[in-house]
């Protein structure tokens, strides 16, 4: 049996089939709700059930607490309607008209930039281009039916090659294949673009970008897009890593800072080695931002990295006045099943 679902505050209405999640049904009918992992792990799709009942589905407890469920919250990537519903959530209008495709691609170049980071350059068929928003990701489709998600690191205008930043995860079947067996000219298939972590062009607020490790990939796409459209917003990027070698593209943000007066780059190392001779910022990257910006009420933040980093940044920044709706994030989850964002 299908059910009618009404979105507040927009009053958009769509119908969910018997076996569809709320998110699947909304996307099928052209309404772009916020989502990230699509498997109940990240919490990006969380919204409120105002009227009606749902089957909450299978999800990770840290993404939806019992207290939140009591307050009417649900994860729309997992929840299925059991009656007609009225829900409250954010809609992302800019992603609405972008077609999600399954496409083949060829490995054009494998560029090893650190002991545990390879940049994959993928080439599409001659008659294809992937339309996407800066910050979105694709799912690599593996032969065993599993998926591995990676953010697009190139900007939308620079689409001749798609760029993915792959970190080698111990025990990760796909990343170990990339580092030990993959060759240039290999053929892959992917689905995309996916996700609602992308640069919002409808704000003039200054931006703070916070990247942890290969969380730099979607931030790179966003910044290159902002520079391409000649955005005059003030932008600062903090890139957190353990050691100097973990900043695997240090020259690039330095070049951006030289070329664009409205951009500042601040690297932060948590465990610099003696041989790094590091005289820059140290400690946790979100704490560096909190020290530099005691009042965040007038800012917009884009954060991408490990779940603990993203969550610590979220809690700390809200305490320092950042409006909830101005914290936009994507957490990289590393586990085996189900396949999470930028996993193995």
Q: How would residue 333 be classed by pLDDT, with cut points 50, 70 and 90?
A: low
pLDDT of residue 221: 97
Residue 199 included in any domain: no
CA of 187: how far to CAs of 12, 118, 140, 149, 154, in Å? Answer: 41, 17, 11, 17, 20
Which element (helix H / strand E) includes 174?
A: helix 173-180
**How high is the pLDDT of residue 266?**
98
pLDDT, greater one: 34 or 7: 7
Per-residue pLDDT tens for 154-212? Answer: 999 898 999 999 999 888 888 889 999 999 999 999 999 998 899 998 899 999 999 99
DSSP secondary structure letters along 10-51: T--EEEE-TT--HHHHHHHTT--B--SSSSSSS-TTEEEEEE
Question: Beta strands of 94-186 (E only): which ranges?
Answer: 101-114, 117-123, 137-141, 147-151, 161-167
Q: Which residue has the higher pLDDT, 128 or 332?
A: 128
pLDDT score of 1:
87
DSSP 56: -
> Is 138:191 a contact under the CB 8 Å cutoff?
yes
Q: Which two tokens stand for residue 120?
A: 């994959």
Residues 240, 273, single domain; the answer is yes
The domain boundary, picked from 194, 219, 251, lies at 194
The segment with the largest mean pLDDT, out of 55-64, 78-87, 331-340, is 78-87
Whether residues 273 and 221 share a domain: the answer is yes
Q: Is the pLDDT of residue 341 over 80?
A: no
- Residue 132's domain is classified under what CATH number? 2.40.30.10
Does residue 43 carry a pLDDT above 80? yes
End-to-end CA distance of the chain: 38
Quote the mean pLDDT of the chain: 92
- For 97-115, what is each residue's pLDDT tens digit? 678 889 999 999 999 999 9
Q: Show the tokens assigned to 152.
A: 């697009």
At which of 166, 194, 222 does a domain end? Answer: 194
Mark whether 45 and 143 lie in a shared domain.
no
Residue 84, CA distances (Å) to 5, 10, 58, 75 in order: 6, 17, 21, 17
φ, ψ for residue 267 (rounded to 5)?
-80, 145
User: Domain tally for the chain?
Assistant: 3
For the record, the structure tokens of 288 come out as 């560096």
Structural domain ending residue among the three candidates 35, 64, 91? 91
Q: What pLDDT, on a 0 to 100 scale, did the predictor assign at position 41?
A: 85
Question: According to the model, what pLDDT value does residue 335 have?
Answer: 42
Within the chain, strands assigned E span: 3-8, 13-16, 46-51, 54-55, 73-75, 80-81, 85-88, 101-114, 117-123, 137-141, 147-151, 161-167, 187-194, 207-212, 235-241, 263-269, 281-282, 300-305, 327-331
284 and 297 in contact (C-beta within 8 Å)? Answer: no
Provide the pLDDT for residue 93.
66
% of the chain surpassing 70 pLDDT: 95
* pLDDT recorded at residue 30: 76
The answer to whether residue 149 is domain-embedded is yes
Q: What confidence tier does 139 reach under pLDDT thresholds 50, 70, 90?
A: very high
| Mean pLDDT value of segment 19-32 | 89
Reported as a pLDDT band with limits 50, 70 and 90, residue 316 is very high
pLDDT given for residue 99 in this prediction:
81
**Residue 91 confidence (pLDDT):** 82
Question: pLDDT tier at 38 (50, 70, 90 boundaries)?
Answer: confident
* Domain annotation covers residue 161: yes
Assign 248 a pLDDT band (cuts: 50, 70, 90). Answer: very high
Mean pLDDT of 225-246: 96
Highest mean pLDDT among 19-28, 122-131, 294-303: 294-303
pLDDT at residue 273 tops 90: yes
Q: Is the peptide bond before 193 cis (omega within 30 degrees of 0)?
A: yes
Claim to verify: residue 154 and residue 251 sit in the same structural domain: no
Q: Which domain holds residue 163?
A: 101-194
Q: Are residues 71 and 40 in the same domain?
A: yes
Look at residue 156 and tell me if it is in a domain. Answer: yes
Least confident of 87-96, 143-152, 202-211: 87-96
- Summarised one tens digit per residue, pLDDT across range 60-80 is 988 999 999 999 999 999 999
Measured between alpha carbons, how far is 184 from 209 in angstroms, rounded to an integer? 32
């Amino acid at each position: 049996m299908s059910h009618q679902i009404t979105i507040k505050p927009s009053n958009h209405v769509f119908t969910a089939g018997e076996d569809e999640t709320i998110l699947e049904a909304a996307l099928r009918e052209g309404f772009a709700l916020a989502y990230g992992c699509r498997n109940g792990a990240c919490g990006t799709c969380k919204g409120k059930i105002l009227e009606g009942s749902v089957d909450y589905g299978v999800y990770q407890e840290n993404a939806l607490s019992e207290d939140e469920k009591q307050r009417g919250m649900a994860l729309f990537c997992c929840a299925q309607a059991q009656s007609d519903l009225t829900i409250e959530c954010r809609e992302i209008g800019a992603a609405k008209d972008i077609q999600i495709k399954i496409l083949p691609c060829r490995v054009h170049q494998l560029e090893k930039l650190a002991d545990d980071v390879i940049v994959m350059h993928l080439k599409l068929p001659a008659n294809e281009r992937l339309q996407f928003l800066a910050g979105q990701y694709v799912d690599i489709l593996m032969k065993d039916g599993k998926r591995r998600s990676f953010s697009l690191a190139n900007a939308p205008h620079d689409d001749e090659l798609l760029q993915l930043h792959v970190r080698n995860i111990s025990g990760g079947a796909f990343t170990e294949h990339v580092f030990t067996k993959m060759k240039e000219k290999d053929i892959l298939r992917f689905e995309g673009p996916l996700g609602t972590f992308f640069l919002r062009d409808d704000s003039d607020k200054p931006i703070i970008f916070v990247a942890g490790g290969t969380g730099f990939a979607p931030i790179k796409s966003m910044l290159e897009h902002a520079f391409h459209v000649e955005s005059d917003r003030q932008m600062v990027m903090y890139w957190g890593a353990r050691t100097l070698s973990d900043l695997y593209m240090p020259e690039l943000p330095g070049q951006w800072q030289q070329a664009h007066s409205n951009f500042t780059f601040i690297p932060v190392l948590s465990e610099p080695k003696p041989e790094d001779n590091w005289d820059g910022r140290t400690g946790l990257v979100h704490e560096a931002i909190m020290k530099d910006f005691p009042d965040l009420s007038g800012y917009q933040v884009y954060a991408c990295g490990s779940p603990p980093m993203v969550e610590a940044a979220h809690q700390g920044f809200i305490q320092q006045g950042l409006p909830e709706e101005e914290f936009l994030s994507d957490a990289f989850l590393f586990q085996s099943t189900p396949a999470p964002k930028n996993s193995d």
